[in-house]
Amino acid sequence: EDPDEFYNEPKTNKRQEKATPPPAKQPIKIVNIPAHLRTNWENFYVEIIMIIGIVVYFLNFFTGKSKNQKIANQLFAAHRPSLESQFSLVGDDGTKNIEEIQEPLIKESENNFRFWCSGRTCVEGMLVELKLLKRQDL
C-alpha cells in the first residue's frame, strides 16, 4: 500500500473496522395519510373536464367533417347531369389522365371542395369551388 495515496484520511486499524457491528434494521412504519391527501376522483375534476372537452371536440370534428362531405356530394350529384350536358369533361383537374379520375370532387380541406369542367366550345373551362361552413371547428 502506498501511504501517500489518500490525503487527510484518518488512520484506522483493521481490527477496529471488523469489531464494529452492523447497525440494526429499523422496522418500516406505515403512517396514516390524512384524508385531504388521499387520491379520489374529486381531486381530478379539472382533468375530467378537459378529457370531456377533448372528446366533445373530436365528436364535433368528425360529425362536421362528414356533414360537409355529404352536402358537397349531394350538391355535385344534383348538378352533375346539367354539367355533363354542357361540358364534355366534368371533374378533370388538368393533371391526371381521364381514366385515372375516380372522384371528380376534390377535397382541399374539411370545408373546401372543388371540381373542374372543360370541353365546351368558346369556353376554356369552369372551376367550381364549394366553400362550406366550418362545421368541424367549434
More confident residue, 21 or 131: 131
SS3 category, 36: helix
Maximum CA extent, the chain? 112
DSSP character at residue 113: E
Condensed to tens digits (0 to 9), the pLDDT of residues 8-40 reads: 666 665 555 555 666 778 888 887 877 666 677
Tell me, what's the pLDDT at 67?
93
Are 75 and 83 contacting, i.e. CB atoms less than 8 angstroms apart? Answer: no
Condensed to tens digits (0 to 9), the pLDDT of residues 44-85 reads: 889 999 999 999 999 999 999 999 999 999 999 899 899 889
Reported pTM: 0.61
DSSP labels, 80-133? HHHHHHH-SEES--SSS-GGG-S-SSEESSSSEEEEEEE-BTTB--EEEEEE--
